[in-house]
Amino acid sequence: MVTNDETVGLKEYLSGFRSIHNEDVERFIKEKALDFSAQSVARTHLVLLEKGDFLGYFTLAHKILQVPAKLLSKNLEKKVSRFGRLDERSESYSLPLPLIAQLGKNYAAGLKETIDGSILLKLACDKVKRIQRDLGGKFTYVECEDKEPLISFYTRNEFVRIDGGDPLKLYDTSKPYLVQMIRLL
């Protein structure tokens, strides 16, 4: 159990996090991560050096991913069918999967060392693998904004895009469209 004093200290520690690419990544670690953990919605894992430098973080949650069967290659569908259930009406698989919900690299001034995003993602995937050794499963997924640098980053790290595009994307520009990408671990 974390005491109120410890929570205040942790919030102060997290307040030093800086993201230069995404305000939501910074806002999440400062404003939501502790509450999500307390409510058992998601768990945030800090990546630190031995001397205490806060290099980054990743957040894991458990969610149901709906995947239209028509968007999967035959090879991927064969693997997915072992872990999910096909709803005949919607022709979609329901997969209970770990979601890598947040991935954040700290760009705070004064950090002498940094961490490569691929290493941060590998740490998250390794954590998911350890969890799945106990619970079962072989996949994880991410949701990211539909931006080429993000899609390329996850593709280089063995994630496969599985969404078919969102028709509402053309009409509702108030929220960024999130691309779903899955990885076999």
3-state secondary structure 128-181: HHHHHHHHCCCEEEEEEECCHHHHHHHHHCCCEECCCCCHHHHCCCCCCCEEEE
Model confidence at 167: pLDDT above 60: no
Asked if pLDDT for residue 178 goes beyond 90, the answer is: no
Q: How many residues does the chain have?
A: 185
- Whether 6 shows a pLDDT value over 80: the answer reads no
- Reply yes or no on whether the pLDDT at 52 is more than 90: no
The pairing of beta strand 54-68 with beta strand 43-48: antiparallel
C-alpha torsion 130→39→103→131, nearest 10:
10
Radius of gyration of the chain (CA): 18
**pLDDT bucket at 112, cuts 50 / 70 / 90:** confident
Mean pLDDT score of the chain: 89
Nearest residue to 141 via CA among 101, 112, 107: 101
Residue with the bigger pLDDT between 150 and 175: it is 150
Question: Are the C-beta atoms of 65 and 123 separated by less than 8 Å?
Answer: no
CA dihedral 21, 171, 86, 66 (to 10 degrees): 30
What confidence score (pLDDT) does residue 48 get? Answer: 94
Element (H, E) at 99: strand 92-105
pLDDT exceeds cutoff 50 at 131: yes
Number of H helices and E strands in the chain, helices first, is: 6, 7
Per-residue pLDDT at 92 exceeds 70: yes
